[in-house]
Structure 1
């Protein structure tokens, strides 16, 4: 079978990325709360080095979401620093060796306010989707609570200013937006309405575990069709949208 080169990582014009770190072979990357505390320490420590900004995060048992803006170095270098530091500590603690994360982290560019807020909401709602908690405010390992108080890690002003220059109004609007129901537990579902292209793109990328939707074009037919079948089950997405966002013809999508 023909081997395809890795897709070049798309560079964000805004410098902002939605980064996803997953455990290799879906392995658990946090065995206990001390492990999560250590990863948070890494985020704090290398923020001083790389001068990046964190707008949102969520630590789950086998993956991590970050909404991050590049500082004085490229996102790949920043994530390498954080990953190497945490994995070295994790391996020493548990007497293991070898990689912990998938060899290439996922990243998608975030270049509009609309998409930024949608991604931030998606990150904060992750624990709801997996059934970890019933309220976002009950989950300790995300940035959600930081938006309602002081945080020395998360830059909350950037998002809050999108809602209002008045802090009290901004908090109320932020809370309402973050709590809008957009997906069902365990499945990438955005409600019974037609998805915008931004929502559909995020849904495709998350369902297919891809950096960009057009990567489907380079896949072997059987695997591609299997993923297309899953994508077609997303509520609110149309065949025309899938074709437009993936570059795959509607007839191929229908037959999959």
Structure 2
């Protein structure tokens, strides 16, 4: 994690992927997902960061995050340690929960930011090969906040940036951000070649 301190840029979003060691499950119950969400909120009160897309899967999670005040490595150390301690207490787990390294991709180009967020919001389709009626039906991603503007969202979630970017790229031929995310068929077919595909 030390390398991120050197390259951290406060104005840039990073696509973070953290996986369970040997692809083991890091979320087993609904309570685990809820505790991880609580941990993000707790971390935000200390470090103040912004997330524009996330998806939590059984054995990994994705964040599209910007940390303007402190190196992102500090934020991730706090989140991962808090959750790891919880998981080990709850399940009497004594092994290493996470892989020793996480995947990080610095994203400064707005179109790449859109592409990364779309991949994150569709991530459960790549790993489970199931469609839950509608994309927003998956409960452990930030996408439902984009569909329902009245839905209560955590303070660290920003749902305004990505929709505003769609309007700047008419060549995408999408009326809005939700239509962009729900254009599924092409993304699923290319998932094995997608630069963000680390599931």
Q: CA deviation at 1:112?
A: 1.1
Q: CA separation in 2, counterparts of 1:186 and 1:90?
A: 34
Within a 5 Å distance, the mapping from 1:173-252 to structure 2 comes to 173-181=176-184, 182-184=186-188, 187-189=191-193, 203-204=194-195, 206=197
| Residue among 32, 40, 60 paired with 1:35 | 32
Residue correspondences, number = 185
Q: Which has the higher contact order (CA 8 A, sep 6+)?
A: 2
Q: CA deviation at 1:164?
A: 4.5
Give TM-score scaled by structure 1 length. Answer: 0.66
Q: CA separation in 2, counterparts of 1:136 and 1:206?
A: 18
Q: CA deviation at 1:22?
A: 0.2
Q: 1:7 to 1:155 in 2, by over 3 A?
A: closer
Look up the match of 2:7: 11
Over alpha carbons, which structure has the higher Rg? 1
| Residue among 104, 109, 120 paired with 2:106 | 109
Look up the match of 1:87: 84
Q: Which runs of 5+ in 1 are unaligned?
A: 1-5, 166-170, 190-202, 210-256
SS, match of residue 57 in structure 1: strand
Q: CA deviation at 1:183?
A: 2.5
Q: Which runs of 5+ in 2 are unaligned?
A: 169-173
Matched, 1:139 2:138: yes
Matched, 1:47 2:44: yes
Deviations 1:121-176 (A, max 9, x none): 000011112224343111000000011224224101111222349xxxxx951111
SS, match of residue 47 in structure 1: helix
SS, match of residue 145 in structure 1: helix
Give TM-score scaled by structure 2 length. Answer: 0.83
Q: 1:137 to 1:65 in 2, by over 3 A?
A: same
Q: Runs of at least 4 residues of structure 1 off by over 3 A?
A: 6-10, 204-207
Look up the match of 1:99: 96
Q: CA separation in 1, counterparts of 2:191 and 2:111?
A: 22
Q: CA separation in 2, counterparts of 1:158 and 1:187?
A: 25
Give me the CA root mean square deviation: 2.5
